[in-house]
Amino acid sequence: MSFIYKLKKDEPFRTLCLTILSGIFLLISFFGWVKLPFDIAWFAIVISGVPIVYSAIKGLVTKFDITTDVLVAIALIAAVVIKEYFAAGEVAFIMQLGKVLEDITAGRTRRNLQSLINMAPQMASIRTENGEKEIPASEVKIGDVILIRPGGSVPVDGKIVRGNTSIDQSVMTGESVPIDKKEGDIVYQGTFNQQGAIDIEATHSGDDSSLKKMIKLVEEAEKNKAPIVRIADKWAKILVPVALGSSILIGLLTKDIYRAVTALVVFCPCSLVLATPTAIMAAIGNATKKGILIKSGAAIETTAKVNAFVMDKTGTLTYGKLAVEDIYILDKNIEHKNFLSITASAEKFSEHPLAKAILRYAKDSGIVAKDPESFEIKIGKGVSATVAGQKILIGEKIIGENLIKKTPDVSSLIEQKEKQGKTVLPVAIDGKVAGIITVADKIRKEASETVKNLKKLGIPHIIMLTGDNEVVANSIGASAEVTEVLASRLPQDKVNSVKNLKDKGYVVGMVGDGVNDAPALATSSVSIAMGAIGSDVAIEAADIALMGDDIGKLPFLVRICRKAKNRIIFNIVISMVINFGAIILAGFGLLNPVTAALVHNFGSVFVVLSSVMLLTYKEKAKV
């Protein structure tokens, strides 16, 4: 019963079964194993050929659409007319076999995503006033608190509200190492809890989850391959009259209808139909396993031609999160831990990103910030607070130039650190500069290596584009080893910078976070969003989405796109060489309809197998 149901509902499975059946009938016909009043190849003609002829007639009648099916149908009918039933069945069989191989390629492309869908839990254990309650994951509401035990998978996107753990999110981002997560961190549907029990608060549910967004993106990639498939049909508008003309000419010159039909059979564009879509889907499938989601074949083609990358600084070349870099104690009477405790307590009520960086550092160092007795923010200057009876001032402007100059070497130290692109926060305790804290957005550890690898791939221009001032931008740019730094750029300035590069003839790849960079991303030749997992804006704005924050995947992205483009060209060349070579042989009578079908349709299988190899392409250790 299940087999019959699958046969009815699953079109690729039905096509596979009918194609196998058609092939069996052709084998019986070829070897003459069964004697019937008619050629048993007729079964193959009916099973595999009728759908092709029907599709061709439907397209011509309803839209006058000359597709590849038209040429195949003409060849099939011509072979039947001259009673070359095996050749007719073989043309239909190989055309359907090509479709089966394409389905297999596309199926392998989606297999990684499908396994993720299958592994996502169907049930969730939510916390209630009466204890734990098991409910379907689809019924979880935003704000529900869910218990996730060690070894369990995450049923919905959420924020950890209790506990620490390591999460295996390789199926979403391609990261091979589990990521440590603590309270306040985000976890995603379909990922796996490796260690401790945690409670998460649902932040997204239903179709808004990160998993559903991934599914949507892959579906978009499927839809967006349609224009590429239509390239073959555009060729068909040329090939149909050329094939018919060649066939008629060969028939007139040789007076041999068999040679004319052979020309029609050999000109069937099966391999051309399969050349592009199979390569595109194989490349998309390989990239998906790496956590790189490509929306379309056009994005692959453009990425393969990129000769200039423009990268945003914050969140792309850097982590996009301010962190304490250095702490210098200038008052020898104050211990490091005490200095950090006083500073963190003074900043406790501040919402400024610099203050939050200090508080995070203090918390990670095991220091609990106390409530200050008094607290005041001086906008644009700094913080004034009282902690344990001591008057605390944080910030160069609020402390004042005179007080800073009274402390030896403070001015030169501040200047030195600012040249390194760091924000310097001098801390004064009871009228004396006691120390200095520097805060900076850290450069990603893989940024420099990524830029080097892109240069080795022959991309000479790697440009950092940022709204930050030149001092900070130049420091980060030097560390990342980019070729050019464009600082102090407003959103419109970023757009103009990308336009200028395109006007100079560059194919520009823009890499950003998909939020602040949306206008520049939209202007670029191909746009790549960093850390798109969980981000609607990033997915909508970009042609390609890196689901994790690993910029190190860019060189692999460029290589797989180049491989795909070269494979498409190779496939098309092979298919055309086979077609034109075989038609010459047909003209000289060196091929008959049966051998012509074998030679030509070997090209179709070869093209598909050539594309499938892209699925197994792996990143090299060195570029």
Q: What is the pLDDT of residues 369-391, one digit of tens each?
A: 999 999 998 876 889 999 999 99
Burial of 503 (0-12, 13-18, 19+ CB in 10 A): exposed
- Residue-level pLDDT at 382: 85
**Which is catalytic among the residues 312, 468, 517, 543?**
312
Question: Which of 123-132, 234-243, 332-341, 598-607 bottoms out in mean pLDDT, i.e. has the lowest?
Answer: 234-243
Section 406-420 average pLDDT: 81
CATH numeric code, 292-318+444-560: 3.40.50.1000
Q: d(Cα 588, Cα 437) in Å, to the nearest integer?
A: 86
Section 413-420 average pLDDT: 84
Sequence length of the chain is 623
Q: Give tens-digit pLDDT for 524-569.
A: 999 998 876 555 555 666 789 888 778 999 999 999 999 999 998 8
Q: Is the pLDDT of residue 310 over 90?
A: yes
Cα torsion 436, 437, 438, 440 to 10°: value is: -170
- Residue-level pLDDT at 225: 44
Count other C-beta atoms under 10 Å from residue 349's C-beta: 15
- Residue-level pLDDT at 390: 95
Contact call for residues 378 and 415 (beta carbons, < 8 A): no
DSSP per residue, 20-38: HHHHHHHHHHHHT-S--SS
CA 609 to chain centre: 23
Contact call for residues 538 and 511 (beta carbons, < 8 A): no
- Residue-level pLDDT at 303: 95
Q: Is 312 a catalytic residue?
A: yes
- Residue-level pLDDT at 79: 87
Q: Is the pLDDT of residue 467 over 90?
A: no
Question: Which of 129-138, 305-314, 457-466, 511-520 bottoms out in mean pLDDT, i.e. has the lowest?
Answer: 511-520
User: Confidence class of residue 495 from pLDDT cuts 50, 70 and 90?
Assistant: confident
- Amino acid in position 462: I
- Residue-level pLDDT at 226: 41
Section 427-454 average pLDDT: 92
Closest C-alpha to 189, from 177, 200, 197: 200
| Rounded percentage of the chain residues whose pLDDT exceeds 70 | 84
pTM score: 0.71
Most confident of 59-63, 126-130, 179-183, 232-236: 126-130
Q: Give tens-digit pLDDT for 32-91.
A: 888 889 999 999 999 998 988 998 888 888 877 666 778 788 888 888 988 889 888 888
Q: Whole-angstrom distance between the N-terminal and C-terminal Cα of the chain?
A: 53
- Residue-level pLDDT at 232: 53
CA distances from 400 to 209, 406, 426 (A): 50, 11, 10
CA distances from 415 to 330, 372, 411, 423 (A): 16, 30, 6, 10
Beta strands in 215-339 (DSSP E): 292-294, 308-312, 318-329
Q: Is the pLDDT of residue 126 over 90?
A: yes
Q: Which residue did the predictor score with more confidence, 287 or 541? A: 287
DSSP at 208: G
- Residue-level pLDDT at 227: 45
In sequence order, the 6+-apart residues with CB closer than 8 A to the CB of 15 are: 96, 99, 100, 103
Instruction: Name the token pair of 81.
Output: 């007319």
Instruction: Name the token pair of 228.
Output: 């590429």
Q: Give tens-digit pLDDT for 569-598.
A: 898 888 888 888 888 898 898 988 878 877
Closest C-alpha to 535, from 517, 549, 514, 519: 514
Q: d(Cα 586, Cα 588) in Å, to the nearest integer?
A: 5
Q: d(Cα 575, Cα 135) in Å, to the nearest integer?
A: 55
Assess if CATH 1.10.1660.10 describes domain 121-154+157-203: no
DSSP at 524: S
**Mean pLDDT, all residues of the chain:** 83
Question: Which of 68-82, 428-442, 592-606 bottoms out in mean pLDDT, i.e. has the lowest?
Answer: 592-606
Section 104-112 average pLDDT: 55
Assess if CATH 3.40.120.10 describes domain 320-443: no
Handedness of CA 596, 602, 607, 608 (dihedral sign): positive
DSSP per residue, 541-561: H-SEEESSS-GGGHHHHHHHH
Q: Is the pLDDT of residue 116 over 80?
A: no
CA distances from 234 to 4, 240, 499 (A): 38, 10, 32
Q: d(Cα 135, Cα 141) in Å, to the nearest integer?
A: 11
In sequence order, the 6+-apart residues with CB closer than 8 A to the CB of 155 are: 120, 121, 123, 124, 137, 140, 146, 148, 189
User: Confidence class of residue 1 from pLDDT cuts 50, 70 and 90?
Assistant: very low
User: Confidence class of residue 522 from pLDDT cuts 50, 70 and 90?
Assistant: confident
User: Confidence class of residue 358 from pLDDT cuts 50, 70 and 90?
Assistant: very high
| Gyration radius (Cα) of the chain, Å | 33
